[in-house]
Amino acid sequence: MIKFTSSPKYWFFVYLLLLAGNAFTQETESEDNWDNQLYLANKLTWGKDRWKYSGELQIRLENNMQSLEKWYMEGVASFMPSRNIEIVPDFRLSIKTDDYVFRPGLGVLFKPYVNDFQFVNQVKWQIDMHTIDGRRDNALRYVLVINKQLKDKLIASFLAGALYRWSDDFRGPEIMRAGPGLTYIFNSKHSLYISYYLSAVNNHQAWEWSGIPFFQFIIHIDKEYKYLPAVDFNF
């Protein structure tokens, strides 16, 4: 039996859920603030010993899946100094209809194992550099992903996270997201992750809510790692 109260990080997760509930009760300014979105992704992974690398192409649709919100390319390098720690620098290029955004980031993953559950705690700093106006926006995110292998070919997951933004014109929680997911493992090289997220985004005036189906096809080129890498997903 898993005791979530055995560590302060689980109290932080409870706080995250309370924060989401508080945001829900404060959302009274918009009469129609729900959107159905869709995320589609293709990801490559490879690595050896203490290093894991990945490259991803993702497309995000909004306005009831009828408009392109953005698409992006992201590269990630994960260094695994121990079984429970990963140091994760990454870089993302996002292309929108009216802007290009360069986003370097640096994160740390702490991934304890409890009764065959993997708890992936991600703390990450990022800076979003906009080309349209030269704006530089910092952000700090915390994401918890809980993974459990149900069968040889099936992994169940649950993700919950929040992003805190500080910039010249805004300071506060900007994104909160949570939802369950399943990974189906076809073979040693290919897998498919399917999830549905409840998402809240602060547009700096009011909270906007959306439901997001997410489909990610993953190709594993090789997996000769010294430690088991974290099973985590883009927030």
**CA triplet 36, 232, 94: central angle to 5 degrees?**
55
In angstroms, the CA 157 to CA 187 distance is: 19
Q: For 136-189, how does the pLDDT look when each residue is reduced to its tens digit (9 = 90+)? A: 999 999 999 999 999 999 999 999 999 999 988 899 999 999 999 999 999 989
What's the whole-number mean pLDDT along residues 53-79? 96
From the candidate CATH numbers 2.40.160.40, 3.40.50.300, 3.10.129.10, 3.20.20.80, the one assigned to the domain spanning 4-225: 2.40.160.40
Q: Which is more confident, 99 or 32?
A: 99
Of all residues in the chain, the percent with pLDDT exceeding 90 is 74
How is residue 185 written in tokens? 């493992």
| CA 81 from centre of chain | 22
Whether residue 146 contacts residue 158, with contact meaning beta carbons closer than 8 Å, is answered with yes
Computed over every residue of the chain, the mean pLDDT equals 88
> Domain coordinates of the chain in residue numbers?
4-225
